């Protein structure tokens, strides 16, 4: 295969930025105009292409009503033909290098319904390698709660967050379920296509040479080897939220089942 498009899927706070950072340093072009780092969410950088980021966050903003914001409801993503055409144009414009990719957590929510058809329509699907970044749902929710609270700049927003903290936590858990079901569904539909890989941060740190060799030999990526331990900052991933909240038991049971499935797929992928 002459070209590869590496798409990182995974809910935010799942280690997607660290994975994108590593791949970018290995030689996967994640974009030239990247979203800058910040002191709250990620001091090491997000490695998100701003063209993609601005468009997807714009779609998200249009999809959320004031009532949804107040009640902390999950986003009901909506898109139209112009959105599909614009996303297709962005992908075609970026498809000029041998190995390139993108990472934008919003991609994951609509991967199978929106992105796969766009890639097929633009004759790019055969070039795609999906790398799913997975993380335990409780740690992911805790990290999301910490980041969300620290971004609330006004008294009203901070008060709203504390009053509805359980709704926020369970919304993040629902989003974790949605994102990881998207990844599982894609894998189940593409088991014979050799176009997916599942990684978590510890697995990458412990088995980076094996993973790099697999990317090169099995997926045709012409990239160099960089030890991810040299760029990993554990203070980013492991920070505590110090916010107490209660997760729905039924959602937790569903998330446990999904995570066990992901681990099984990860452990049996080579």
Mean predicted lDDT score pLDDT of the chain: 91
Q: What percent of the chain has pLDDT over 90?
A: 64
Question: What does the pLDDT look like over 9-47, one tens digit per residue?
Answer: 999 999 999 999 999 999 999 988 888 888 777 878 889
Q: What is the DSSP annotation of 37-79?
A: P-SSS-TT----BHHHHHHHHHHHHHH--HHHHHHTPPP----
pLDDT of the residue at 239: 66
147-162: average pLDDT? 91
Q: Residue 94 region, left (φ>0) first, then alpha (ψ -120 to 50), else beta?
A: alpha
> What pTM, to 2 d.p., does this model score?
0.93
137-143: average pLDDT? 94
pLDDT of the residue at 142: 93
pLDDT of the residue at 18: 94
Domain total for the chain? 1
How far apart are the C-alpha atoms of 257 and 177, rounded to whole Å?
10
Question: What does the pLDDT look like over 56-90, one tens digit per residue?
Answer: 888 888 888 888 888 898 888 887 878 888 889 98
How far apart are the C-alpha atoms of 161 and 173, rounded to whole Å?
16
* CATH number, residue 247: 3.40.50
For residue 240, what pLDDT band results from cuts at 50, 70 and 90? low
Which residues form the domain of 229?
4-267
Furthest C-alpha separation in the chain? 54
């Amino acid at each position: 295969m002459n070209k590869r498009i590496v798409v990182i899927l995974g809910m935010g706070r799942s280690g997607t930025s660290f994975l994108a950072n590593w791949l970018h340093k290995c030689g996967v072009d994640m974009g030239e105009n990247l979203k800058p780092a910040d002191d709250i969410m990620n001091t090491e950088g997000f490695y998100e292409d701003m063209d993609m980021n601005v468009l997807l966050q714009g779609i998200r903003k249009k999809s959320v009503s004031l009532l949804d914001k107040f009640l902390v409801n999950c986003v009901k993503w909506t898109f139209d033909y112009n959105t599909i055409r614009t996303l297709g144009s962005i992908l075609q414009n970026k498809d000029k290098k041998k190995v390139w990719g993108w990472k934008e957590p919003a991609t994951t929510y609509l991967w199978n319904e929106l992105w796969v058809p766009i890639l097929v329509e633009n004759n790019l699907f055969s070039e795609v390698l999906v790398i799913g970044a997975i993380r335990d749902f409780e740690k992911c929710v805790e990290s999301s709660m910490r980041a969300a609270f620290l971004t609330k700049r006004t008294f009203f927003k901070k008060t709203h967050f504390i009053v509805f903290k359980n709704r926020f936590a369970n919304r993040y858990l629902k989003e974790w379920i949605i994102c990881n079901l998207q990844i599982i569904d894609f894998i189940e539909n593409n088991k014979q296509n050799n176009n997916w890989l599942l990684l978590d941060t510890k697995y990458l740190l412990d088995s980076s040479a094996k993973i790099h060799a697999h990317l090169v030999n099995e997926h045709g990526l012409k990239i160099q080897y960089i030890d991810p331990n040299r760029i990993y900052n554990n203070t980013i991933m492991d920070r505590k939220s110090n916010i107490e909240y209660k997760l729905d038991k039924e959602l937790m049971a569903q998330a446990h089942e999904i995570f066990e499935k992901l681990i099984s797929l990860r452990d049996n992928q080579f």
